[in-house]
Amino acid sequence: MYKLKEISNKETWNNFVFENNFAFYSFLSSWEWAELQTLSGKRVLRFWIYEFEKTGVWEKLIWILPLIVNKAKRWTYLFSPHCPLILNSEKQIKIWDPWIREGWKILEAETRDYFFEILDSILDELKGIASKIWANFIRFNSPVKNTIKNKKFFEKLGFIDAPMHEHAEDTHLLDLTKTEEELLQNIKKKDRYYINRAIKEWVQVLKWNSPEQIKNLTSMHLEHSKKVWYHPFSASFIKNLYETFWDNITTISASYNWKVESILMTIKFWKTCVYYIAASDIKSSKFSPNYLCQWEAIKQAKADWCTTYNFWWVSPDHNPNHPIAWVTKFKRKFWGYDYSLLHAQDLIISKKYWFNFAIETFRRKKRWYYYKKPV
């Protein structure tokens, strides 16, 4: 039996992520991300789920679920970014066998998927919470793989594909457990040349969250967005990011002849480092400082004991016409592998949802976005 319960303890929340080996998580799953939403004026509901016995004893914490209340002029909805995170999504039945050294042997593996079993058990509670705040729908950007099986599970519970994404779904990951030499050798010779040439040309790399660095990142990010036509983060949002994640943010810039040509921000959460915001104004194309700047970010993440470097959002394929094909090509040059999450899923609470559906569908088509199909 499973029960929802509100949580107000940061250590319990983050330690739940730290102590369990989840296949995918990011800083969006952290306590700090919810704090950032509060700074932005949004209401956040934080829940955990315990297995609940008939005797009334709370047992093991198995789920964390943040719900951000997003309000627009014409609709309200609950959103869970890269959550819920659920412990023990697969269980095994074991029996005692005195004839083997370990004493236990696996009898059989259960076929039930506990992620969806738990979600199904508290779905009515979630609908009740949504109704109380007049939410029109609930949106999950879940950290589950983009498979037909997972898609069908959501459909069975009444979810439909969201008309628009909210956060990264198709990502590119780099395994940092390899040595520096291996990581560098996995980069193509032509791209390694840019890194080595930038070093020989005395490109200056600065790793520091100084006021000047933050100012450069913000101004270059806003200016860069005008050149490549993407929707930028606001200056206030970037300021709140630093306030919330300060100890886990690294700002890295690459300068040539005392001019910053490339700058980026990474956010570390436990053993995953995410390449989140970047901008450039390349004047030295023969040894583009972008490559050295990114390589230094990877090395810094490894030095900070991260095991995964997440390049964040990439296009679902190699189509040069995709809106972010230009930056995806750059990210994939650093080797690694693509990791695809299931596209965001919506649970309809009110008929007003369809008005939002129509507007977001229009925006998606106007921007030429499309998503990878489950496999």
Write the pLDDT tens digit of every residue in 135-179: 999 999 999 999 999 999 999 999 999 999 999 999 999 999 999
Residue 182's CB is within 10 A of a number of other CB atoms, namely: 11
- Are residues 34 and 119 both part of a single domain? yes
Query: How far is the C-alpha of 212 from the C-alpha of 209, rounded, in Å?
Result: 8
At residue 56 the predicted structure's pLDDT band, cuts being 50, 70 and 90, is low
- pLDDT tops 60 at residue 105: no
Q: Do 284 and 308 have their domain in common? A: yes
pLDDT of residue 327: 94
Ranges assigned E (strand) in the chain: 2-6, 43-52, 58-71, 76-81, 85-86, 92-96, 104-109, 137-141, 159-161, 170-175, 204-207, 249-256, 259-269, 272-280, 308-313, 337-340, 345-348
- Most confident listed range (12-26, 103-117, 261-275): 261-275
SS3 356: helix
- pLDDT over 90 (residue 258): yes
What digits encode the pLDDT tens for the residues 73-88?
Answer: 889 999 999 999 987 5
Residues 147 and 272 in one domain: no
Asked whether residue 265 falls in the same domain as residue 305, the answer is yes
In a domain, 111, yes or no: yes
Question: Which pLDDT score, from 0 to 100, does residue 369 have?
Answer: 94
Rounded to 5°, angle at Cα 185 from 179 and 190: 150
Q: Is residue 312 part of a domain?
A: yes
**Structural domain includes residue 27:** yes
Domain identity same for 180 and 320: yes
In this structure, the answer to whether residues 204 and 233 fall within a common structural domain is yes
372: in domain: no
Can you give the CATH number for the domain in which 181 is found?
3.40.630.30
- How many residues does the structure list for the chain? 375
pLDDT at residue 94, rounded to an integer: 42
Please tell me whether residues 257 and 353 are part of one structural domain: no
Whole domain around residue 212: which residue ranges? 171-339
Is residue 374 domain-resident? Answer: no
Residue that is written with structure tokens 């520096």 in the block: 180
| Same-domain status, 334 and 352 | no
Same domain for 180 and 142, yes or no, is: no
Its pTM surpasses 0.85: yes
Angle, alpha carbons 63-66-72 (nearest 5°): 150
Mean pLDDT across the stretch 268-292?
95
Looking at the structure, tell me whether residues 17 and 60 fall in a common domain: yes
- Judgement on whether residues 147 and 184 belong to the same structural domain of the protein: no
Cβ-based neighbours of 330, under 8 Å, separated by 6 or more: 290, 294
Q: Is residue 256 assigned to a domain?
A: yes
Cα 319 from chain centroid (whole Å):
23
Total structural domains within the chain: 2
Share of the chain above pLDDT 90, in %: 79
For the stretch 106-116, pLDDT in tens is: 433 343 467 88
**Whether residue 70 has pLDDT greater than 60:** yes
